[in-house]
Structure 1
Amino acid sequence: MKNYFKICALLLILALAAPLIITPGEAQAAVQKGGLKYYLFYNAKTNEAEFLVTNPTKNTINLQFPSGKDFDLEIRKNNQVIWKASDGKFYNQITRNEKLLPNQAKYFKIQLPKLTNGKYDLYAYFEGIQNRNKPVANLSITITNGIQDPLKYSLWYDQNANKAYFLVQNTSNKYTKLSFPTAKEIDLELIDGQGRSIWKYSDNKYYGQALKTEWLAPGKMKLYSAELPKNLSGNFVLKAYFNGLNGIEIPAASIKVSLNSKTEKSNLSFSAWYSTQTKPKIVFSAENTSNQTMRFQLPTSQIVEVIVRGNNGFYWKFSDHVKFAQTPQTRELHPRSPYYSFIYLPELPKGNYQAEIYYLGYSKTIPAVKTNFSV
């Protein structure tokens, strides 16, 4: 049975590598690194990329994947990344070990987004090796039957107003037909440093599903604005999508933005205390004292962080002992409806302690409240 799979894998490699069977609508590239050989193909007819990882050696090669992600693919234009296969996707964080036997292969196929005419570069990454952050193969392609786009896009961020502005302009000398599949004309998306989509403008919004068509006159423009989340802090990539040209799935524009949390503490009331009832723990509450529901975008399922320090040198951090789901979460805090959290503590030696509690919807760096206690 093993020989059968080896033969099948070898035939697959030979079939894909043979230049005689590559049709005029396909492009290919082959690279050998660290014992593995990588093939990257593009099929213009189906607009698909195929990525093949082979072991042409006589030795078994050990692979280690740090998560559920096997590979990644980037599309670049003018050396700028305009699309990444893993963006907005979430993978389990369980490490996997695999063996790639001699003449075995791993094969991946992915549908690419619809692109406008022009030249692009594909970069493939393989997660099973140590240098997983470096591309193992790249391929240049030319799109000739793509979408015609006569529009010019501009995106900027006003930090004082915490607003993003997206400008769409018809720079041609002809009227441009805009066809929106739904009432949603644009979308905005924030990507964090790990490539995760943590916020979309369209989230929790309802759009009419009727097709909408309009004409944009030469030189005319459409300006959109949207407020970004107030509770996020850090550096992000902001992407803008325009839905007026049927089928364009890549961002029309993207910029780097630096956000600072603007949640007003005056609208939040925090309290915390040490309790020995049942088990030693910190009890924390957060109350929304305003008249409107607050929404918090969190990068993981973690809502609070607790750090305990003692005058005896003891140190303990809540997140060091709990595994949180690595998917963005939207949390709501309704008016006059407190949120409670019970953080159970380990066995503490005698001493005086201070606990700092961080409500992550408010701030990751400023404690929401501190409480002192003795054991």
Structure 2
Amino acid sequence: MSPTAPPGPDAQTAPVLLDRAGLQALVDALVARGFDVIGPTLRDGAIVYDRIADLAALPAGWTDRQEAGRYRLERRADAALFGYAVGPQSWKRFLHPPEETLWRARRQDDGFTITPEPPSPAPFAFLGVRACELHAIAIQDRVFLGGAHRDPGYAARRQGAFLVALNCGTAAGTCFCASMGTGPRAESGFDLALTELIDAARHDFLAVAGSEAGAALLAVLPTRPAGSDATAAAEAVLARTKAGMGRHLDTNGLKERLQANPEHPRWDEVAARCLACANCTLVCPTCFCTSVADHTDLAGTEATRVKRWDSCFTADFSFIHGGSVRASGKSRYRQWLTHKLAHWIDQFGSSGCVGCGRCIAWCPVGIDITAEAAAIRAMPGKAVGEGKGGNA
């Protein structure tokens, strides 16, 4: 199995340095250019993405500790602005929102008038996009924009989005992007990429432009040349983060192994623990399943059609005449994991997993996708090509 492919080649400029004032100037410049700036903030005991106007909104001095079924915030020994791994939310929340009104209809004397919902007025600027999340956005681009039937809402929100990547300086206990080839370094798919450099002597951001728009913005910011010491420090940050990955997933031959074993005994074992709560799909930055519902008022004069996130873990999601196609917890978990790590490759040309580890941390019972994949690889089961079947 091949890891997720990079989002595409982007020309990158020579690195320069921004200090904290320069980073604020970046935010100010994005606001002045009409962007709706979204970045990490501290709320309700978690680091979440929300609208920001200045650096005071960033989670300075906070980090996250994540393990299977566990997410906690702790104070850092420094004032790093991006000293965390990933929170419960992903940028999917903005590009592919949990609920979207598709159109509204109103009854008139001669029928109905249907009005599509207008797109968001301002383009997004995302501040602090991790490498795994860049790959997740690229995956959703393929899902929503890559075929003959483009999603107009996603296209409108994605159009003109400005991505400020952040090379990871912290790996959580649930991270395994290094296994998936999706991090911790942001290789492409961004307009600007930052690496936070903080120690007793400095607090700077090594900045590299990855697009013409990024280079144009960087040219008006208060920067200074990055010496060899700064570039070496940035490389050391990435090396330390890569070495600190809390999880590992061996992807070699995994696709074929999963597809050859729909009746592997491990599916029953994980089903006995899985609550089918859908947390893993809701926090996943690449899951895209939705359902559509129509609502009318009591007078029957107005109606709306709404698209909402759905999940392959719900019984109704695969319900057709006669019942649910996947009625058991076993079949639903198997569908999710094999689609994510195997069938997705056949469908979209890459794995559907970017190694962010959110599904591990936010599973109430601590089910670990890397452990389940390893168990199916290790335990006796059908060899590749020996046969398939089953929809239990």
TM-score interval, smaller chain = under 0.3
Higher strand share: 1
Higher helix share: 2
Q: Which has the larger radius of gyration?
A: 1
Task: Please give the TM-score of this superposition, normalised by the length of structure 2.
Answer: 0.25
